[in-house]
Structure 1
Amino acid sequence: MKTLFHTLVIMLGISSLSGQVLNTSNEQVQVALSNAQVEGSPLANFFQKRTPMMDILNALVKDDDGIVRHYVGAEVGSAYANDDFQPGQVFYNDEKLGDVHYRLNAYNDEIELKKTALDEEKPLALIKNEEVKMVTENGEIVFRTFLDDKNKSNEGYLYVLDEGEKYILYKRLYKKFSEPKPAANSMVSPIPSRFTDYVAYYYQEKEGNQIVEIPLKTNKFLKEFYVDNSKVLKEFMKSNDLDLENETDLVKILQFIAD
């Protein structure tokens, strides 16, 4: 595990914490891995002075580069899924790296971190890596590549809603910003700038790697899941008053299909 810490810190330093996913097949990573294993290596001596867990956690955040990426002053709504910093834990795979305070910028698709919830502490951004996850009171937040309803590949943060025997269910929270519009005349009001909230759901088969957006219209949903006896599923949804757009109901529906 120590070698993994070395490699991560080295490679994240080389890339200036650019947010790229670590590629362990990369030649530079392999060289760093080899060098870190050599007894007496300057790299090994350097890391002996630190706590490995704090090394990797510090490497997995990046400082603000001064670029404004979101509109702070929208008159309606917020860029954040949670405006206040909330307690959470950062994990690398199943290894806990530390306790933090976080908030999800759903407009930038970025997780901001602090050691405390104090206003005066400057937030840092968690590096985007599929092996890194946040464990929070609202569940796990993971960084994944997924296909949207137009079959276009995207990447971003997803909440893990349910992990059943056959499917993993995810939720994506995202925001769109609308510029303000002045009143066309004295008879109408101006339109304020605003953030609008959106939610999408995705599923992954346990035996596959692809994460696909779930269509929330019944006919498209049935086609996506190749349900042989759609009449049975429709009756199940009707008798239990289930709605595809309700995430609790969606969990029950997928569990029913899996069974």
Structure 2
Amino acid sequence: MKYIFSLFLAFLTINFSYGQVSGQIAGGAGGAFGIGGKATTDPFLAARMADLRSKKNSVEEEILGSPYLNDEFIKSKVYFGEDYIGDYYIRYNALNSEIEIKESNLPEEKPKRLLADDKVRIKYAKRELRFTTYITKKNETKNGYLSIISEGDSYTLYHRLAVKYSEGKAAANSMVMAIPSRYAHFTEYYYKKAGVDRIDQLAQKRGALLKILDKEIRDQVSTFIKEEKIDLSEEADLIRTFEYINSIDTSS
């Protein structure tokens, strides 16, 4: 099975200490095809990564927060399509929407970057990460990792952890405190309607939710939200709402 895995996936070596600080990929940019395979380096990519590392190392600063969902590597199950590949130690870099992966949790083993593939599924903590294409509220088409949190015949609801990096500001004078750089975590939700080949960001407001539904069920859903005192800003209530939507019989 690992042989099959190696035909489709590649890992790029990460500079471990740099990745912990900034979440950007640096250091050796060569790819190892398969597990423990022979590295092959793209000169242009290697030069670009070295340049990023050089810039970052030239400035020492404290950055609040983390680009990772969890700073620790978590033992996770990796699948390619329906095939179980094995257990690996995973860390999710939400800033870059990248999976960092190790075969063991030994500190001397350097993590690698798992190249994105839409056939790869990772059972990470309580979620399953899948690489896919989605469309933001600004109508921008992006690629990244989403997790299915509710699935039915009519709609599928996805969760995405996003991270934003904000550059700090130096103190203008001794009377003003400096503003440190930071990583801010926030959550986005996306949906896919059955029969529609796209995944769109969901605005967590009643009017916006009702607008994406078929006209014949809008009143039912609106009543459900009101009677159940649904707060669409809460994930649990959002899941309840989509479960209700998927339970509505529209065959008559």
User: What TM-score does the superposition give when structure 1 sets the normalisation length?
Assistant: 0.72
- Structure with greater proportional strand content: 2
Partners in 1 of 2:192 and 2:113 — Cα distance?
27
Shift of 1:236: 1.6
- Following TM superposition, by how much is the alpha carbon of 1:148 offset from its aligned partner in structure 2, in angstroms? 0.5
Partner of 1:109: 97
Aligned partners of 2:231 and 2:35: how far apart in 1? 40
Secondary structure at 2:63's aligned position in 1? coil
Matched, 1:186 2:174: yes
Q: Distance in 2 between matches of 1:171 and 1:74?
A: 30
1:88-237 → structure 2 map (5 Å cutoff): 88-228=76-216, 230-237=218-225
Matched-pair contact (CA < 8 Å) for 1:62–1:127: no
How far does residue 101 in structure 1 lie from its aligned partner after superposition? 0.6
| CA-CA distance at 1:117 after TM superposition | 1.8
CA distance in 2 between partners of 1:157 and 1:65 (Å): 25
Partners in 1 of 2:114 and 2:196 — Cα distance? 27
| Structure 2, unaligned runs of 5 or more | 13-32
Aligned equivalent of 1:27: none
Letter in 2 for 1:185: N
Distance 2:90 2:241 in 1: 32
* Distance change (3 Å), C-alpha of 1:231 and 1:211: same
TM-score (norm. length: structure 2) = 0.74
Structure 2 distance, partners of 1:236, 1:62, is 57
Aligned equivalents of 1:239, 1:173: Cα separation in 2: 30
Cα RMSD for the two superposed structures? 3.2
Whether 1:244 aligns to 2:232 is: yes
Distance 2:238 2:36 in 1: 38
What percent of counterpart residues are identical?
A: 33
CA distance in 2, matches of 1:226, 1:197: 33
Q: After TM superposition, give the deviation of residue 185 of structure 1 in Å.
A: 3.3
- Aligned residue identity for 1:159: S
Aligned residues: 216
Q: Deviations over 1:88-133 (max 9, x none)?
A: 0111101011110101001111000011222221001111010111
Per-residue deviation at 1:256? Answer: 1.5
For residues 150 and 114 of structure 1, the distance between their equivalents in structure 2, rounded to whole angstroms, comes to 35
Give the secondary structure class of the aligned counterpart of 1:81.
Answer: coil
CA distance in 1, matches of 2:36, 2:196: 32
Match of 1:236, SS state, is helix
Whether the 8 Å contact between 2:9 and 2:115 is mirrored in structure 1 is no
Structure 1: state its 5+ residue gaps: 18-54
2:26 aligned residue: none
1:190 aligned counterpart, secondary structure:
coil
Q: 1:65 to 1:116 in 2, by over 3 A?
A: farther
